Structure 1
């Protein structure tokens, strides 16, 4: 099993009993592979040998969004596929933080520059974060850094007594958000804002236990607490690309997807497959300050603004006259070179923000939003009074996005999904010009999910 240590420090012993010799210790949150069980003990690989840990101090790793990886070697190659002979893409340096998408045998599938890449797992320390907590700064000025090490670039500083939300802990560092960016501060200069009534000798002083009073940031919509997202049944993230994508999406949002699918009398595998295809099961982009995923459509901006300002529009935007969804380019100056921007969220937002300066409402009507990639001009169809209301709801929570997906399904769309006619569904959802491409992708993800979880979806 793949597990994370729950104790402050967990002894590693040379035999599966509490009287055997201690050969080392593991920190809270450390992620390891364990075999067994040996009664109440698990066997692990430890420092070129093997050891045993008490099984009760290991929790399963079932939410990859809570995994944080830190490079533990001076230089680590990033490759296109999980092989030492695969194409070299870049080098990561000691202390670099990475987002793990899947754990393979000896490789980690990671998110790199908005795409998927691979690194050797032995050179990355994985940490499974806690639920998070509020903490107070107890230094005069606390440096906020881009990575969990003392030589990383500075984002800024926090003043004494500042109260911040800690997302997780990596050894001597706490992960926080700073001006929208993932950032890190030294844990020695933070004090958790909670009463600790448990034995401090047995607990990590910065991690709140499940029995302590935590101070989570409430997530609400229209004054009501949002529904639980994660499912009871968690899937291993492995296999084909479609299987990994399906499992990862299910593990993040499966409970909500199942609840909404049941109300629509729809196989949850269908809704999940649509989400996987639209945005790879993601609603927000970590590498773009966790902003909502969007796609700016030049031809729609022409409809809502450009045709009323044709000369100004043509100085900044282009698209194909034959296939309007293709050849999208832009430039912020009429003398600059034309640039493509689809496929890169930072560039999508750059174009969108530029368009908002010209006409904010028209720009919001011209983007597809979030995990379901619903166009802004459909705001009334999914129950919003204005495009601003839809934009705010989709920007603030994944539940707003997924609710929007189910609200967008027309009776005919639902019939196509119930009949597993994915190409006809894609013709309505993605457009007739793309129905075969998207229909085939939805079919592949549907089949992949049915294969890895047949008991749930049959």
Structure 2
């Protein structure tokens, strides 16, 4: 499904405008995603409880087609967490736009994951040191000192399933989960009773995935301080690692925040 946002033109935008009009907007259907269309998207998102980011992605388009998914991130969750973290909602809108992978679930209903074989090797080396290398020799695509072996999408779940047969807890801890790709080995720091309980929560909804993200932020004082101060370079460095500048994460976050803050002030 095509992501539609400000500045785009074409038949997909015309169809979006027609759907928004059926939902109560009064747009001139010209195929141009301008200010009026963005405002109409935000209004529709607020009315339906979705995150009002002004971007007509798969979630908004599905809702317009009467295929809304109850597992999607709700604005009430985001605004409640913004209050809890003592940050502006616009700051979390920016992070949700830039840092998340767009959706926390795959088309088949399973959560978005990425299995990390080098983390599996590390976890096994810590808990079963005598078996880590023999198992790595037998299953190099699942246990390996080097990163790699990714297949993406639904196939990552098969990799995880195979790894769980070798060691359930280590496999779950070696997987990043949901829209914000929180690693399973953080389960204890984030306050979950077990890594299995963490994984179950990530399979439940994007609200639960965002809750894990919020716990990740609030249990790191430096990260929380950077977010509260809207110091985007510091936040991106702590969250994304040293490659943040090459990927312009700080620039993207700053631009997204400004756009969302302006829209919130105009609402």
User: TM class by shorter-chain length?
Assistant: 0.5 to 0.7
Which segments of 5 or more consecutive residues in structure 2 lack a partner in the other structure?
A: 24-46, 62-71
Selected match of 1:284 from 80, 101, 105: 105
Number of residue pairs matched? 221
Following the alignment from structure 1 to structure 2, what is the Cα–Cα distance between the partners of residues 413 and 278? 14
Q: Is the 8 A contact 2:73 2:205 kept in 1?
A: no
Structure 1: gaps (5+ residues) = 1-98, 110-119, 131-227, 239-243, 330-339
1:434 to 243, 264, 267: 243
Give the SS at the match of 1:295. strand
Distance in 2 of aligned mates of 1:261 and 1:373:
19
How many Å separate the matches in 2 of 1:451 and 1:292? 29
Post-superposition offset of 1:357: 1.4
Within the alignment, does 1:404 sit opposite 2:188 as a pair?
no
Q: Which has the higher contact order (CA 8 A, sep 6+)?
A: 2
Q: Is 1:237 the counterpart of 2:60 in the alignment? A: no
Note closer, same or farther for the CA distance 1:418–1:234 as it changes in structure 2 (3 Å cut).
Answer: closer
Give yes or no for the alignment of 1:345 onto 2:153: yes
Q: Structure 2 vs 1, CA of residues 236 and 434 (structure 1 numbering), >3 Å: closer, same or farther?
A: closer
Structure with the higher fraction of residues in helix conformation: 2
Q: Distance in 1 between matches of 2:172 and 2:85?
A: 29
- Alpha-carbon separation, structure 2, partners of 1:266 and 1:412: 14
Q: Would you say 1:316 and 2:139 are equivalent positions?
A: yes
1: CA distance, partners of 2:53 / 2:98: 19
Would the alpha carbon gap of residues 320 and 301 (structure 1) be closer, same or farther in structure 2, given more than 3 Å must change?
closer
The correspondence of residues 218-237 of structure 1 with structure 2, limited to 5 A, is 230=49, 234=52, 236-237=54-55
Partner of residue 253 from structure 1, selected from 67, 70, 74: 74
Q: Who is 1:357 aligned against? A: 165
Quote the Cα distance in structure 1 between the aligned partners of 2:237 and 2:181: 15
Match of 1:443 in 2: 251
In the TM superposition, what is the alpha-carbon distance from 1:385 to its structure 2 partner? 0.8
TM-score (norm 2): 0.68
Match status 1:108 vs 2:12? yes
- Quote the offset at 1:400 in angstroms: 1.0
Q: Distance in 1 between matches of 2:77 and 2:244?
A: 27
1:269 matches 2:77: no
Q: CA deviation at 1:252?
A: 5.2
Matches for 1:381-392 after TM superposition, within 5 Å: 381-392=189-200
Counterpart pick for 1:379 among 187, 194, 214? 187
In structure 2, what is the Cα distance between the partners aligned to 1:380 and 1:392?
A: 14
Distance 1:258 1:442 in 2: 22
Change (3 A) 1:403 1:280: same
Change (3 A) 1:452 1:275: closer
Q: 8 Å contact 1:277–1:441 — kept in the other structure?
A: yes
How much is the aligned-residue C-alpha RMSD, in angstroms? 3.8
C-alpha separation in 2, matches of 1:291 and 1:446: 32
Asked if 1 retains the 8 angstrom alpha-carbon contact of 2:172 and 2:195, the reply is yes
1:301 aligns with 2:109: no
Q: 1:15-414 maps to which residues of 2 (within 5 A)?
A: 99=1, 101-102=3-4, 105-108=9-12, 230=49, 234=52, 236-237=54-55, 253-286=74-107, 289-305=108-124, 307=129, 308-317=131-140, 326=147, 328-329=148-149, 340-341=150-151, 344-409=152-217, 410-414=220-224
Contact 2:117 2:144 in 1 (8 A): no
CA distance in 2, matches of 1:448, 1:260: 19
How much does 1:121 deviate? 5.8
**2:243 alignment partner, SS class:** helix
Q: Structure 1 residue 430: deviation in Å? A: 3.3
Say which structure is richer in strand: 1
The 2-side partners of 1:285 and 1:257 are apart by: 21
